[in-house]
Chains A and B, each alone.
Chain A
Amino acid sequence: MVLDPAHGGTDSGARGTGGIHESDIVLEFAAQVRTAFRSQGFQVVQTRQGNANPSFDDRSAMANAQRGAIFVTLHIASTGTPGTARVYVMNDLPSGTDATGLIPWDRAQAPFASLSRKLGDQVQILLAQRFKGSPSAAQIASVRQLRTTAAPAIAVEISSVTVEDRAQLDHMAPGVADAIARGAAAFRPTYVLPANPGERP
């Protein structure tokens, strides 16, 4: 499991009027998600521990270097009904291989699109049960971080940095962590790895 707390460093992401920074909150969410993943028997790699800001490609590379990884990037929105959570999966990319038979880096997500949707739907269903007003299925968006990730990959976005009290977001963290971990655990049996590395899933 590759867990990505988005932003970091000089990029604080979304900022609320109450001084809430997306980059700080996602790091705290990630700690709870990591614990929930471990309780489901997953090994966890985190793309950043402190206030670093690896590039999109560096974060994807961490997932692409693992065989059979699942990638989850965590975000806090500036919009949306506070107290809701949405899962996004990448829109369809033209799939195919280059002249060397390898999947092009900028379309690495293409062969995993249907698996990402399955994972996204599993997690979104559980989030919708916990957080009223959340959609019932994963949504499609052109998320940059997902495009170069060669694994089932989802972005989870929580609303929002506009809450008056940061405690409102803190209260959501255990539920979000549990939903993501249980969704990934439910998805795991359907994720069949190809026999040889480099083959399509």
Chain B
Amino acid sequence: MTPRWRWWFIGALSLAVVIAAIYLPILRRNIRQAAKLQQRSEEQARRELTQPTVVNPSDPKVKAKLFWASGADDGTISPVTVELPLATDPVLRSKQVLNTLLAGPVDTELRTLPPDAALLAFYLLPDGTAIADFSEALATSIPSGIESEQMAVDSIAKTLAANVPQVRRLKILIHGQEIETLAGHLDLSQAFVVNANAGPSPRAAAANAAPQPFLPDRKR
């Protein structure tokens, strides 16, 4: 190789290095964004398959408060206001807000519930006790620990308290079963107080005065 060609070769090589240095970070960012989008769309597809659509576009849009992690990494949760078409029926409304809560915030780091968890059923007893039945993933995919399990339950209870005033207490089931703890720490054997001052559900008036299961209250 002549000295002239050697200079051309070194110059071309340097140019390639400079171009690579500029382009590679952009490429990496694009790949990350594409992966994130793909992950989100896969999650969305699964959600559409596993959960019945309970959103009725004709329902009036209201400002719903959903509680996710505050981001302070101190175990606290904070409300995020989201405009949603919500039904007036408390059971349907509860399903709508809980499904939105499960879908998670835009920033996935602020999730309080596992992305693969689903709400299987929701009932509201005449005395205002809500029974929320979640898939097993709620118990198996949640990070084990007092802090993380408490955040999960808090986010469910506070979201119901903020959006469904008829719910007084909350009992959580996993796949139709009563379980002792969520993931080894938090007590799920009894009901949580959601809204101690809530009035009776409109259904209560129409319902028979059947004896209700005893679910001791818990103040938070």
Contact = CB atoms under 8 A, between A and B. Distances in A.
B108 to A, nearest CB: 14
A142 B143 contact: no
Interface string A106-128: 11000000000000000000000
Given A77-B145, A79-B145, A91-B220, A11 B150 contact: no
Nearest to A139: B75
Nearest to B72: A81
Nearest to A76: B145
Contact of A77 (B147, B180, B218, B220): B147
Contacts, number: 88
Given A139-B75, A157-B145, A92 B184 contact: no
Interface stretch (B15-23, B50-58, B186-194): B186-194
Interface string A133-154: 1010001111111010000000
Contacts of B192: 142
A201 interface: no
Given A7-B184, A142-B150, A142-B153, A135 B74 contact: yes
Interface in B167-209: 180-181, 184-187, 189-190, 192
Given A80-B73, A81-B74, A94-B216, A144 B187 contact: yes
A28 B192 CA distance: 34
A159 B75 CA distance: 11
Contacts of A145: 185
A183 interface: no
B219 interface: yes
Interface of B: 73-75, 143-148, 150-151, 153, 180-181, 184-187, 189-190, 192, 216-220
